[in-house]
Structure 1
Amino acid sequence: MWSTPSTPVLVTGGAGFIGSRLVRLLAAAGHPIRVLDDLTTGRPESVTSVAGATLVRGSVLDADAVAEAARGTGLVLHLAGVVGMRLAAQQADLAHAVGHRGTANVLARTGDAPVVLVSSSAVYGLSDGSAELREEQAVDRSVPLAYDGGSPGYATGKWEMERLGREAARHRPVLTVRPFNVVGPGQRGRYGMVVPTFFRQAESGEPLTVHGDGSQRRCFTDIDQFARRLLDLAATEAAWRPDARVFNIGSRTETAIADLARLVLDATGSTAGSVHVPYESVFPGRTDVTGRVPCLDRLTAAVGETDWLSAAALVRKTARARRAGTPAAR
């Protein structure tokens, strides 16, 4: 629907971990790119180092900044958000505002260009992994609200994002994706991301900090595979049908956090081991997710099968990048 290489693309949050990968892929395909990012957590060099990409410093909470950045663009990828469990918990009001009001600004001030909203698997709430999470299942606002600890925060903001997207889809093309634990080289641990946090601790000779008993499971998804699948969806006409506009994207293979810690220790050669801390002591008033597994039937029907990297392969890939000192590896 937007596959002409000359189509200009706006990427909100494009200086961040996922956004910058999309910027590089779009640039390689010949698209002019405009990035709107307030650089709270993003890196300016992630954009300025890419030929054909222009960085506009600003927030999606500023409607005029959104309108200016979107001028002349033919596709919008909306990724701007407060990233990381720790930061999202510390700045819950901001996380909710960016998800809700920021999305409202993006939808109101970008004309009629197709929009891809990058939501989150957090909208499924405190799932236990006993059943696949399907896009068509009804999710009441109380579900992400419970995930947020009872007060609107990150997950509730993403739920509001999706609600606004459904309303906007009545008069313009809107597609929503729900990522599942995207990881890889370039992700930073300072905001609460588990993989880079484990690597930093292991490389410093510190014990790896595991919340709870480590039995909680996650489906870790390779950043490069995720970015390609998102762009594949955006380029697929059928993906924009009203009955198929929400897609899970991610691996279906679960890995316990305790097992992830062992993988990182092995990859780094660290003998520091790990320590367990109560989840409540890190995130007071919140409950950890036991497990979260996506159903990928809709994604596969739209763009085909994906041979997702295993957690072990992802850890090895990240370890290689960190040893090589590749740009943004840490």
Structure 2
Amino acid sequence: MKRVLITGGAGFLGSHLCDRFIKEGYHVIAMDNLITGDMRNIEHLFKLPNFEFYHHDVSKFIHVPGELDYILHFASPASPIDYLKIPIQTLKVGSLGIHNCLGLARVKKARVLIASTSEVYGDPNVHPQNEDYWGNVNPVGPRGVYDEAKRFQEAMTMAYHTYHGLETRIVRIFNTYGPRMRLNDGRVLPAFIGQALRGEDLTVFGDGSQTRSFCYVDDLVEGIYRLLLSDYAYPVNVGNPAEITIKEFGEEIIKLTGTSQKLVFKPLPTDDPKQRRPDITRAQELLGWEPKVSREEGLKITYDFFKSLPEEELYAAAYNREFVKK
């Protein structure tokens, strides 16, 4: 049985990756310090003999006994609220964290896949964004701690690949959604759905003309899995190229939830990207991958998940407080 370490394993994406690798017959070791992760995301796996959980911060030395075949580094705050609240930890997990993971991989002779992001493109001057575009990033702006952490992470990974001959893979993830997202993480989809469920108007920043491209989590996990098992070491965009404006997206959420709220507009945050759409030609050609789940289908599943959450969690999110499960 092959063994895989997934850092950030109790997070939104990490927990779905744990599920996928369990399904594929792997022995899965999830590692998370639970700053933004949630044990509820993986509690269904604890009864399985081929699942382990390590409560650990990957910014500190990592020790995992036994052999490892793969390491997936998904530990990182991933939303504006998180990385503005804990900027130093965000930089550490993208620097010290990746260094520790790469060092462990070298010792274990394991293949590493790192979770990069479309944020490496910053507020892009090229549209759609392909992997050859170097980006337009403000390193000292409020988003710089996240953007530069991911850019450094890519550079460190490629250094280990070229200097040590380590087997590495880099996935650049575009906006992803699905069950297990946190209501108070500041991203547009949970923010809109949370406001709709509380009977509030939906907050649109700017005039709503900025665009995003939303990929359902199952599609993303499939792309990541294929990339890990491929022989390609350079960055690959994985996301859904179906682009929509934030204003149109808010209107879709109002229609989905059947509420009577309206959109309200507030100033656009500093360095907020105006356009975001992946060019997935490389993923199509190298991996035979493209998204399958329509936004209509994915949003229905995600909305049903949020509706099932305790009411106190819904209102804790309104005040950006963490919900404590009793």
Q: Using structure 1 for the length normalisation, give the TM-score.
A: 0.86
Whole-angstrom distance in 2 between the partners of 1:315 and 1:41: 23
Counterparts of 1:13-52 in structure 2, within 5 Å, are: 13-50=8-45, 51=48, 52=50
State whether residues 219 and 253 of structure 1, in contact with CA within 8 Å, keep that contact through their aligned partners in structure 2: yes
1:95/1:203 Cα in 2 relative to 1: closer, same or farther (>3 Å)? same
Look up the SS of the partner of 1:119 in the other structure: strand
1:124 aligns with 2:124: no
**Alignment partner, residue 226 of structure 1:** 220
**Alignment partner, residue 267 of structure 1:** 256
Letter in 2 for 1:250: G
Whole-angstrom distance in 2 between the partners of 1:150 and 1:85: 9
Whole-angstrom distance in 2 between the partners of 1:147 and 1:207: 33
1:41/1:70 Cα in 2 relative to 1: closer, same or farther (>3 Å)? farther
Look up the SS of the partner of 2:222 in the other structure: helix
State whether residues 15 and 43 of structure 1, in contact with CA within 8 Å, keep that contact through their aligned partners in structure 2: yes
Look up the SS of the partner of 2:133 in the other structure: coil
**Alignment partner, residue 193 of structure 2:** 199
Number of residue-to-residue matches in the alignment:
305
Letter in 2 for 1:205: G
Whole-angstrom distance in 2 between the partners of 1:23 and 1:296: 24
Shift of 1:323: 4.3
Shift of 1:148: 5.6
1:310/1:70 Cα in 2 relative to 1: closer, same or farther (>3 Å)? farther
Q: Using structure 2 for the length normalisation, give the TM-score.
A: 0.87
**Alignment partner, residue 318 of structure 2:** none
Look up the SS of the partner of 1:55 in the other structure: strand
Look up the SS of the partner of 1:45 in the other structure: helix
Whole-angstrom distance in 1 between the partners of 2:199 and 2:32: 35
Q: Percent identity?
A: 26
Deviation per CA, 1:244-294, whole angstroms, max 9, x where unpaired?
x210000111111111111111111111212111124xxxxx221110221
Look up the SS of the partner of 2:42 in the other structure: helix
Deviation per CA, 1:146-167, whole angstroms, max 9, x where unpaired?
1661784001000000000110
Equivalent residue in structure 1 for 2:209, among 200, 211, 215:
215
Of 84-93 and 261-270, deviating more is: 84-93
State whether residues 128 and 276 of structure 2, in contact with CA within 8 Å, keep that contact through their aligned partners in structure 1: yes
Equivalent residue in structure 1 for 2:178, among 164, 172, 184:
184
1:61 aligns with 2:59: yes
Of 88-97 and 154-163, deviating more is: 88-97
Equivalent residue in structure 1 for 2:6, among 11, 28, 32:
11
Letter in 1 for 2:132: E
1:257 aligns with 2:246: yes
Equivalent residue in structure 2 for 1:276, among 244, 265, 273:
265
State whether residues 13 and 37 of structure 1, in contact with CA within 8 Å, keep that contact through their aligned partners in structure 2: yes
The unaligned stretches of length 5 or more in structure 1 are 1-5, 281-285
State whether residues 8 and 31 of structure 1, in contact with CA within 8 Å, keep that contact through their aligned partners in structure 2: yes
The unaligned stretches of length 5 or more in structure 2 are 315-326
Whole-angstrom distance in 1 between the partners of 2:232 and 2:218: 20
Shift of 1:309: 3.1
RMSD of the alignment, in Å?
A: 2.1
**Alignment partner, residue 156 of structure 1:** 148
State whether residues 239 and 291 of structure 2, in contact with CA within 8 Å, keep that contact through their aligned partners in structure 1: no
1:299/1:70 Cα in 2 relative to 1: closer, same or farther (>3 Å)? farther
Whole-angstrom distance in 2 between the partners of 1:152 and 1:265: 32
1:304 aligns with 2:288: yes
State whether residues 248 and 295 of structure 1, in contact with CA within 8 Å, keep that contact through their aligned partners in structure 2: yes
Whole-angstrom distance in 1 between the partners of 2:170 and 2:84: 24
